[in-house]
Amino acid sequence: MSKIKICALGGLNETGKNMYLVQVDSDIFVFDCGLKYDHSNFGVDYIIPDFTYLKQNIKKIKGIFLTHGHDESMGAIPNLIKEVPNVAIYGTKYTMIALKRKLEAYNIKKANLREILPNKKINFGKNSIFTLNVSHSVPDAICFILNTKDGSIVYTGNYTFDFAMDGNFKTDLGKLAYIGKQNVLCLLGESNYAGRRGHTSPKHRIAYRVKNILRKHSS
């Protein structure tokens, strides 16, 4: 039986700074690496997670797995690279584009970036990571399933259910349902607005407003 540890380095009871660590025996898998913008007027630009444990266990880290291209989930990567150089960073095409632009802004020219696709399995010895699409306000958002010999740990990231979406905006309900019928040990799910009644607004549908503005104005 594996020895599994799960802890949040950020993101609990706050919006932003998302970062979860799952350790399976001697292998460490890190999900998201976000920042949190400060609104306290104390002169702080943003707040990042505490990387101390990762620095102490750098050789055990199998990778940083990013769910999507928003700052609350990947904005602290430039800071992490300075503390934990050459760590493998996994993300989908759009997420990697957003991340590369952020790294350029920080003048970071060297990073171990690995582009991945949804519905793909990545093996790490006895463990593996599987990815699937979820709906969010940016394309290429994904959910991660960490498969161990004792069951799976599901990390959803930010997501909504919107049946009008398609392509890389669509939640893969079929595969999500299939995974739910397997041996799921733990679900690490986004909980923003979980206490509110009703449904999450489909943010993607502002696209037609943006397109109308672009049509009315010349480049």
Higher pLDDT: 195 or 92? It is 92
Amino acid at 144: F
Does the pTM surpass 0.75? The reply is yes
- Kindly report the average pLDDT of the chain as a whole number: 88
Q: In the chain, what are the domain boundaries? A: 4-216
Q: Which contiguous run of DSSP H or E holds residue 112?
A: strand 112-115
- Residue 145 tokens read as 């399933």
Task: Give the pLDDT score at 127.
Answer: 96
Would the pLDDT of 210 be above 80?
no
Express each pLDDT in 173-188 by its tens digit.
778 888 888 899 999 9
Q: What is the pLDDT of residues 100-154, one digit of tens each?
A: 999 999 999 999 999 999 889 999 999 999 999 887 778 899 999 999 999 999 9
Q: Which two tokens stand for residue 63?
A: 């990778």
Task: Please name the CATH architecture into which domain 4-216 falls.
Answer: 4-Layer Sandwich (3.60)
| pLDDT per position as a tens digit, 57-98 | 999 999 999 999 999 999 999 999 999 999 999 999 999 999
Residues 10-47: tens digit of each pLDDT:
888 888 899 999 999 999 999 999 999 877 777 788 99
Nearest to 27 by CA among 143, 146, 117, 131: 146
**Cβ-proximal residues to 99 (8 Å cutoff; 6+ apart), any chain:** 66, 69, 74, 77, 89, 91, 113
Residue 200 is predicted with a pLDDT of: 65
What residues does 41 pair with on adjacent strands?
A: none
Looking at the chain, the whole-number percentage of residues with pLDDT higher than 90 is 59
